[in-house]
A and B are shown apart, each in its own frame.
Chain A
């Protein structure tokens, strides 16, 4: 029977790690953005704190370096801020997953549902090969819709998604520790 894996880093190997507290405190909350009622978790302040930003990347790198991961797929645009550094450190390629019509050449698309309407994520044909082990990275998981679309893109080309990693995980994600059966790894909860 598979051992239950907690999705928050602080419950999964990094209990009491002071880096997590510093990372959480470096994140700024902006109320009512992009619309009333939403407490936006702004990671740009984390990027201004060199040590906290480095610690964020290092925690992910330490976790994934020995998992045989050959692809880090980052979701546009804030996934681009974390993914490449992780990819470089673990020797994986970086694949950007983008909004429609940004990637040149041949792409595959995956639609996903928003609160009102749908959106779409695209990946380059040929970027990822069958059998590759992939990590999906984004700054934050809310409903999981975008990450789900990302997983589907990778699985459609025959890759194996090893894990989805996010800096911040919203409460809705808890209890949904697995996304379509894929494990989720999160560093911190949102700040109030």
Chain B
């Protein structure tokens, strides 16, 4: 039997909702978030005032053949083998940036999702989050906050440490950039293990902001980064298996 949860992006996800898969622990198929595309076969529903939208898991993606722009975006991402070290198939988004239409489509997909949702902060993770975050922020009327490696931001900062495969790293945010009650979107080019996004969310929550969603162009689902997001929703455009 399948159990579904309903998540509205017009208000924050309830802490009582939990991540889902079917009882064989297979990931549920993703359905693009769309008011005209409610999912059938619901066992458990929750109505929110205003719009009623449904997702099948904590991950939402636009990749499942729904939006014709996705194919163009996916084909523009270049895979570079064995970078930065042997065994890693690096997802290079710079080739996407060389195609003005595909780059614009990428931004448009995010802007269409977040415009009018009262998002006051877009936080971008250094450095590739700086490429996607500001255009989104400008289009939706939000401020842009860079989350940076240590000692790059001048003045007073707060730091959040996170674990790497070997060792640790640290992400910093300016004190005062984000205020309690700010509704935040976290943006990066890619989610792998989710460690960096987790650190980013922690920084924002520590200053009293509400992380509405994490948004990435690419997900590496096998690395299960979505499980490190403390139940926060993740929106991605393409998956790489």
Contact = CB atoms under 8 A, between A and B. Distances in A.
Interface of A: 28, 30, 33-34, 40, 42, 44, 47-50, 53-54, 57, 76-78, 80-82, 84-85, 87-88, 91-96, 98, 101-105, 124, 127
B80 to A, nearest CB: 4
Contact of B97 (A54, A95, A104): A95
A103 B145 CA distance: 23
Interface of B: 78, 80, 83-84, 90, 92, 94, 97-100, 103-104, 107, 126-127, 130-132, 134-135, 137-138, 141-146, 148, 151-155, 174, 177
Give the 6 A-B residue pairs with the shortest CB-CB distance, closest first: A30-B154, A104-B80, A80-B130, A33-B154, A104-B83, A47-B144
Contacts, number: 105
A49 B97 contact: no
A28 B177 CA distance: 12
B65 to A, nearest CB: 26
Among A53, A84, A101, A124, which residue has the most Cβ atoms of chain B within 10 A? A84
Contact of A87 (B100, B130, B145, B151): B100
Contacts of A77: 126-127, 130, 146, 148, 152
Contacts of B145: 44, 47-48
A121 B78 CA distance: 21
B134 A84 contact: yes
A46 to B, nearest CB: 9
17 contacts: A30-B155, A47-B137, A48-B177, A85-B134, A87-B100, A88-B107, A88-B135, A91-B100, A93-B97, A96-B131, A102-B127, A103-B94, A104-B92, A105-B78, A105-B83, A124-B94, A127-B98
